[in-house]
Amino acid sequence: MTLVSARELVTDAASRGTGIGAFNVIHLETAEGLVRAAEAAQLPVVLQISQNCADYHGGLEPIALATLAVARRAATPVAVHLDHAERPELVDEAIALGFGSVMFDGGALPYDENVALTAAVVERAHAAGVYVEGELGEVGGKDGAHAPGVRTDPAEARAFVAATGVDALAVAVGSSHAMTDRTASLDLDLIARLHEALDVPLVLHGSSGVPDEVIARAVRAGMTKINVSTHLNGHFTRAVRGVLEADAALVDSRKYLAPARDALAHEAARLLRLFAFAPVTAG
């Protein structure tokens, strides 16, 4: 039984000045592959279920219960986290299902509305002992979340954390969601200033588009929780495509999902090591 809260994993990484991988679950095979990655790397991992993923499965409960079951059987510490929830009621459902951490995403809202809704979520979550991630300064990408160049202001971030009580903060520093090429450039000076300004861990969304060396530098600048989805999905999908192209008569989905799960696990393990061994001076 190694299901733990993201509070434990993220706080520990922040105290040591290293990164922790937070990878998105799409279906059972990804959850299994991500746990296998953590076991291979002998490192903890955060499994994330997004609002989009819950909607795909017709509701949060089916994929949540499956992911929680996989996490409980892991040989390394695994947290299960609700990612990018824009509906407060989804947060409440995740808490009831046993999630140890949630993200309420009010990043697209006006600042005052983001503060009010996030603070209300934090109050309910903290009453249940649940860790809360907020977002300030929208992370760009899919659906045109914001114009290029938008960044999180350190002074506004400090005020946001004080007003809401969030335990971790996702910040806009140059990454973008759903990128399939790894060409994003991060504002490392801004990351360092945010790290200095805040007493909560920083979260990097949209990390799939960021090259390895830039992620390592971001961790050294003060980034802690590193979210990856699209990049790992690419490894999974390419493996499926390769198997099907090699055998046009194949109909047993296990025969192509198993290699895809293995490919995802291999790359996720590599990323976990990258994030964990790019130390900074904790502070």
Is 108 inside any structural domain?
yes
How long a stretch of residues is the chain? Answer: 283
Q: If you search the block for the tokens 């990097």, which residue do you land on?
A: 204
At 107 the three-state DSSP class reads coil
- Compute the distance between CA of residue 138 and CA of residue 134 in angstroms, rounded to an integer: 11
Is 261 inside any structural domain?
yes
User: What amino acid occupies position 102?
Assistant: V
Is 40 inside any structural domain?
yes
User: What amino acid occupies position 157?
Assistant: A
Is 29 inside any structural domain?
yes
User: What amino acid occupies position 257?
Assistant: L
Number of domains in the chain: 1
At 135 the three-state DSSP class reads strand
Identify the pLDDT of residue 186.
Answer: 79
Is 281 inside any structural domain?
no
User: What amino acid occupies position 178?
Assistant: A
Q: Is the Cβ–Cβ distance between 213 and 10 less than 8 Å? A: no
CATH of the domain at 11: 3.20.20.70
Is 41 inside any structural domain?
yes
Is 282 inside any structural domain?
no
Write the CB contacts of 274 (distance below 8 Å, at least 6 apart in sequence).
Answer: 19, 212, 215, 216
> Out of 55, 83, 112, 247, which one is annotated catalytic?
83
Is 283 inside any structural domain?
no
At 83 the three-state DSSP class reads strand
Q: Which tokens go with 200?
A: 């909560």
Q: What domain range is 255 assigned to?
A: 3-276
Give mean pLDDT in consecutive 10-residue pieces for the chain, a chain of 283 residues.
91 96 97 98 98 97 98 97 95 98 89 93 98 77 44 91 97 63 71 96 84 90 94 96 97 97 98 83 42
83 a catalytic residue? yes
Q: Where are the alpha helices (DSSP H) in the chain?
A: 6-16, 28-41, 51-56, 60-72, 88-97, 111-127, 154-164, 188-197, 212-221, 230-246, 254-276
Identify the pLDDT of residue 152.
Answer: 86
Identify the pLDDT of residue 136.
Answer: 84
